[in-house]
Amino acid sequence: MNSDSNRKHNFSAGPCTLPLEVLRQAQQEFVDYQGAGMSLIEMSHRGKHFDAVAVEAMALSMEVFQVPDDFSVLFLQGGAMLQFSMIPMNLLTHGQKGAYVNSGAWADGAITDAKAYGDIYTAWDGAENNYTRMPTSAELAMQDHTRYLHITTNETIGGIRFAEWPEVDVPLVGDVSSEYMARRLPWEKFDLVYGGAQKNLGPAGMAVIFIRKSILEHTNRDLGRYLRYDIHEASGSMFNTPPVFPIYMFGKVLKWMKKQGGLAAMETLAAEKSGALYRAIDDSDGYYTCPVEVACRSQMNVVFRLPSEQLEQKFLSESAQVGLMNLKGHRSVGGCRASIYNALPKSSVDALAEFMADFSDNNARTNG
């Protein structure tokens, strides 16, 4: 790609849009990394070149995400879904329970997998509300001997997020995949934060885990070695061959984020971009509707419907023709969804909002 004009407006829910600046840097370095005569992904993961890349990426992740010193960062393969199992495997010991908020598809997946490895219960289930909101703290039915409360901070499919953090007497474990480093976290509430990199931070193939160091002394040791957090932490995420290319790209994305103004800038931009789309929905006199309760609307995944499925298909077809890509909602819920991750430019959101206004003007409700 030789110019920005060749780039589509990519609203994909994952893999995510990446900064054009980062893609071009990787393109330039790909064949011959720093004059070594080979690509970084061909080198030993224990060589000096990759060691420098990994160390820098770890340091930047702590800095950009404003992570306290009493946490360690791990780069592991398997994405967030492997963590659905590793979390109860490591954190639950005899007599302890894991509490889960069922806020939608990804939370339900975490619950399903966790049940194979420990005593798991659902502290709140959003099914009766069709997963259109998150719970209040008062609605959480916590039980005795609970080790942690697992929350999916942002549901990519349903387009809902925790606007207010749960107030409970146990540590939180958070799947932050689809809003990773797009908002600040109250770290004092968490023992473990995790997510797949491919929704906001880089290419697919890696999970990024922040874990409180003090709990590593008490994690389960009766596991296969790769499944133990303490082993990965002790080896600096080099217990086995790590996901080299995702780590390399992740580091570059973090540099780009820092250059843009860091976490505060990403948080502000997320509010601006989502705000523009929600205004387009709310100001449409009901032509576009968002099923999510206003207070719980996601700032990363904006879901909306049109008056009919016929109009939705026309909307998706015509939007793609003008370069607005990947706006189809998840197959389980239908409708439309715009994922507006950190690297998606505000200009892309403005283009979508303008298209939405034009489409509603040109396609009366009676045409549906």
Residues marked as catalytic = 106, 175, 199
Residues 6+ apart with CB under 8 A from 239: 225, 226, 231, 232
Q: Which two tokens stand for residue 213?
A: 């160091």
Residue 346, sorted as left (phi over 0), alpha (psi -120 to 50) or beta, turns out to be alpha
| Cα separation values, 37 from 22, 44, 46, Å | 21, 13, 17
107 φ/ψ angles, rounded to the nearest 5 degrees: -65, -40
Distance CA 87, CA 98 (A): 9
Which amino acid would we find at residue 271?
Answer: A
Instruction: Evaluate whether 282 touches 48 at the Cβ level (below 8 Å).
Output: no
Per DSSP, the three-state class of 125 is strand
